[in-house]
Amino acid sequence: MTKKLSSLVAVSSLDNNYLMCRGFNTVLEMPDDAFKWLQEQSLSNGGFSEQFIKLCQQAWNINVRELKVADAVYFRPNPIMNYTDASYELNLACNYRCEHCYLDNKLNNKLNMTMRAEILNSMCMAGVLRLHVTGGEPLLDKHFVETYKLIHKLGLLVRISTNGYALHQPKILSLLEDLPPTRISISLYGATEKTYESLTKTNGQGTFKTFMKSLSAAAEAELPIRLKIILTQHNENELEAMKSLAENFGFEYYVFGRLAPTLDKDKTVLEHQASTVDLRSTRTPFKYCNAGKTFFHVNPLGIVSICMAGRNPNIDLIKYGVDGLKAMPDIASSLLERNGDCSNCSIANTCATCPPMAKSYREAGADKAFFCQF
């Protein structure tokens, strides 16, 4: 019989001690003496104190009163770095061909499970607590189930970004019910079959009906869904209908309408920018970013960058392992400085576009309206 995974995960990093619960966003910091007590209770097969029982009830609405610490808490190996967050593109392959997508290469280039395990273990040793799994389309990945189970086993809190197409499949649905993610972000491309399939270039393939089937299955399973309404010229006339669709399912949602060039610096995707989106609307000025310092991104081949926008310079995580991440802060410092035409800008301190993203727009030859206040 397979041993059930512990609900709680404890990890002692270089600077902090953390207590987490699988399937929940909330991460608690613990004093050294409390963490040590919890470890001792685990080793002696003891139970939880009244204080811990109340803490778990308040933070995650779980009852640990009758449980032994050894059964309820998984203690992760102590990490050697202080990263807390990461994102991981499992693949670049996708069953859609969206007109606005920033990914040029949709080939199914990815690593085998042995190498994936190396990457995930390196993330844990780097201190990562929260992992964002994306793609491509991660749910269609050949090794998604195996990868997802390993992520949970290692004690990482996981959220997923997906187009939702495969969410209704029994093996996927049951997996996410048994090992819940903290959130599933599903892209919404239209409120009607015609618009949805035209934008995703899947006309006549029944993708919209399958998508709606997945939303119904997710709602019935009470999965933590949040819809990401992708707004382009193609579907902006259905914005209110897409909001209503989300509300009818009882899902949270938000609207994303600022397109970006492809990774190969192709600006033609920007032609699909929704006209109703004010590119120069007032946004919070960019001041600081944790990219490369407490966060990093990993592509399907195990190449680490500070984020999804600032992909160069980078580090081969398979080749150099967790020690290679020691170079990330210096890379981040160089990438997060204003450069090129932005370096001498007199109002750079009020600019809302981060330096890596601004560089991406500039190198693609995009209209300044996408990234500049002038």
170 pLDDT higher than 70: yes
- pLDDT per residue as tens digits for the range 159-168: 999 999 999 9
- pLDDT per residue as tens digits for the range 19-50: 999 999 999 999 999 999 999 999 999 999 99
Across 296-319, average pLDDT = 96
- pLDDT per residue as tens digits for the range 18-27: 999 999 999 9
* pLDDT (0 to 100) of residue 211: 98
Strands (E), 175-265: 183-188, 225-230, 252-256
316 vs 302: CA distance, rounded Å: 6
Across 109-114, average pLDDT = 82
48 vs 57: CA distance, rounded Å: 12
Query: Which residues lie closer than 8 Å to 245 by C-beta, 6 or more apart?
Result: 188, 191, 227
- pLDDT per residue as tens digits for the range 187-213: 999 999 999 999 999 999 999 999 999
155 vs 326: CA distance, rounded Å: 23
Across 212-232, average pLDDT = 98
From 90-99, 102-111, 118-127, the region with the lowest mean pLDDT? 102-111
